[in-house]
């Protein structure tokens, strides 16, 4: 079962490096995603947080590539860090979108809620013994999060730019 089956996983445009499932390889320098211009929203706070999501996704991927004996601990620690940061980021992003009166705020917030729910379900499934979760999960997470950034977050970025051009929003409004 695919964890985050969404339109974004079909439409995603991303830079993927060294996407392998061979856990016997050296994982010291492996990344599943690399920050690129397609993720830039032009909103500094959000871009900084998105860069951190790239970092955490790569940490989670590296944890999944850990040798079998260490996988449970590495995966749980990386998953815990990801859950905590995703919640923090979504809270900040939702607050921004509400503050600027983004017209699609409620749909955007629902997308965030769906991802958090799916992350928690994947963690529970792993805890219950589903050992295929880590590799499938990290790829699904990559597709969902970075498809979301490249498409949905770009939509509100365009809205912000349009509102700024019209003089309806300022950098101060955005910074809060």
SS3 15: coil
Helix 133-148 × helix 71-99 angle, to 10°: 20
- Domain with 118 in it: what CATH number? 1.20.120.50
pLDDT in tens, 84-126: 999 999 999 999 999 999 999 999 999 999 988 888 888 888 8
Which residues contact residue 117 at a Cβ distance below 8 angstroms, ignoring those fewer than 6 apart?
A: none
Domain extent, residue 140, equals 41-170
Please tell me the total count of domains within the chain. 1
Q: Where on the phi/psi map is residue 142: left (φ > 0), alpha (ψ -120 to 50), or beta?
A: alpha
On whether residue 18 sits in a domain, the answer given is: no
SS3 25: coil
On whether residue 158 sits in a domain, the answer given is: yes
pLDDT in tens, 118-164: 888 888 888 888 877 777 888 888 888 888 998 999 999 999 999 99
pTM: 0.77
On whether residue 10 sits in a domain, the answer given is: no
């Amino acid at each position: 079962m695919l964890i985050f089956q969404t339109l974004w996983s079909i439409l995603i445009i991303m830079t993927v490096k060294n996407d392998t499932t061979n856990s016997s390889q050296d994982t010291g320098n492996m990344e599943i995603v690399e920050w690129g211009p397609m993720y830039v929203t032009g909103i500094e706070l959000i871009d900084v947080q998105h860069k951190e999501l790239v970092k955490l996704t790569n940490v989670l991927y590296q944890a999944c590539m850990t040798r079998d004996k260490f996988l449970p601990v590495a995966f749980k620690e990386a998953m815990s860090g990801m859950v905590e940061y995703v919640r923090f980021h979504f809270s900040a992003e939702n607050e921004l979108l509400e503050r600027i009166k983004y017209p699609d705020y409620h749909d955007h917030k629902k997308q965030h809620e769906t991802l958090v729910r799916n992350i928690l379900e994947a963690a529970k499934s792993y805890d219950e013994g589903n050992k295929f979760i880590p590799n499938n999960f990290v790829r699904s997470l990559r597709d969902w999060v970075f498809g979301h950034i490249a498409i949905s977050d770009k939509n509100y970025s365009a809205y912000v730019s349009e509102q700024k051009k019209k003089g309806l929003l300022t950098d101060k409004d955005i910074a809060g």
